[in-house]
Structure 1
Amino acid sequence: MQASLTPAALRQRIRGGEHTGNTSGCAPGFVQCNIVILPQAWAHDFLRFCQANPKPCPLLAVSAAPGDTALPRFGDIDIRSDVPRYRVFRNGVFEEERADLHALWQPDLVTFALGCSFSFEEALLADGLEVRNVSEGVNVPMYRSTLPCTAAGPFAGNMVVSMRPMRAADAIRAIQICTRFPAVHGAPVHLGDPSLIGIADLHRPDYGDAVTIAADELPVFWACGVTPQVALEQAKPPLAITHSPGCMLVTDLRNSQLAVL
């Protein structure tokens, strides 16, 4: 049912508490975003962190002014209520998940919207490639890696990666397709042996759900928009808010508008 809804209709369901789960497969054709919300005093350094790490943190929009809850590029957005689940961090420590931010909102908060892999998944599916988390109806598996990000001020840490298993020929095609979508993580950052990037067990993701990996398939890893949550743990701002992994902001922007020739 959610797949047939327009982005605006889906956001209304989210605002009303009728959709509280992940948004993979929802509103096909439209961009979904990772969200990071920080006090203004921390916003400039986080902006520099995104600029220095465009693969895990592809910046699509920033709120026009501190305290602004709208993101006009994406449609009629109220960032306090239009994400199915939010994660709240205090001093770098995850504190709770919330369905909305009305009680927490402050006039100095700045919102960052980052590109999401759900956009390039659609391009892979359109080309006839299987995306295992979609075919199995689960959230994409995500792992903390040892791939370092470039530090900016207090923001630092290693990259979080998402994984999709593919046969070798399909992995090559996926690289070609995703290269056209730098605004939503672009080409993979690693394929093959997960231990080379610090992942011990593919069946135990740090975020999301495990998926089936066939004997003739390689794990293919993309930079992931959960990376800022690791950077927040390092930086320890007094307050930080993100989306819950897999629970994205669904926008009115079309995926095709992000493709480069």
Structure 2
Amino acid sequence: MTAADEEERLPGSVYIEGAPATADGLVHPALVGYGAYSSFRVEDGAVRGLELHLKRLAGAATELFGATPSDARFRESMRRALDGRMEAWLRVSLFSPDIGHRSPSWIGEPRVMIGVFDPPAPLAGGIRVQPQLHQRFLPHIKHVATLDLIRARRAARAAGFDDALFVDGQGKVSEGTLWNLGLVTGDTVVWPQAPMLDGVTRRLIDANLAGQGLRSERAEVRLEDLSQFDAAFLCNSATPAASIAAIGDHVFAERPELIARLNAAWTAAMPEPI
């Protein structure tokens, strides 16, 4: 992604505690991969699922640093970084210059770092994903350790796929590199039951499925079960719903009307002002 707002800021403007980041201020987060983040689209100055993103950040801050910034501090940092911009993509990250390899024991509120970008285009459908044996470290946290995710995507593309889907040693599926998986049978969306990140977009879609004549359930799903499903899709904050054409060698039929209903379920979640 690149960003260039009306003031012609450099691509990927970064702010720490609401102020433009300096080179010195960026040294620690650039060199020490300890922290967490959440990223999302700003629409007309508001965010769908903002409360859920803030709860995610607060939970990660408490677990990783021992304390969390207040909602008011998060919101003020976002407003300062946006500087009146009404449409954007934000990445809100947490870090502390007091934590490092030689000093891991510090406890306190982390700093809030925000990247401001142009909103990315949603992924197109027809995505082919490669099952890979893997589980993210601390899968319930959206943390900054992404080497394994990028490596998995690189491996998938080298093998002729678009992305990777993680499975355990028994073939039980969990999540993609940066997205949640949904499987559909009849009028039921099945979310895999496994250790993973409980994505905000997944939760927003799930909360509004009934309005689209759909329901949902959680269940363990193994690769050998894929033939039981009519369709598959991925979802994250950048792409509310995109069809998965194949998982490994199992092919799914395109269901554009289903993707439209899933997108409508996401749209039904009203944006929350920052």
Q: Same fold (TM over 0.5)?
A: no
Q: Which has the larger radius of gyration?
A: 2
Higher relative contact order (CA 8 A, sep 6+): 1
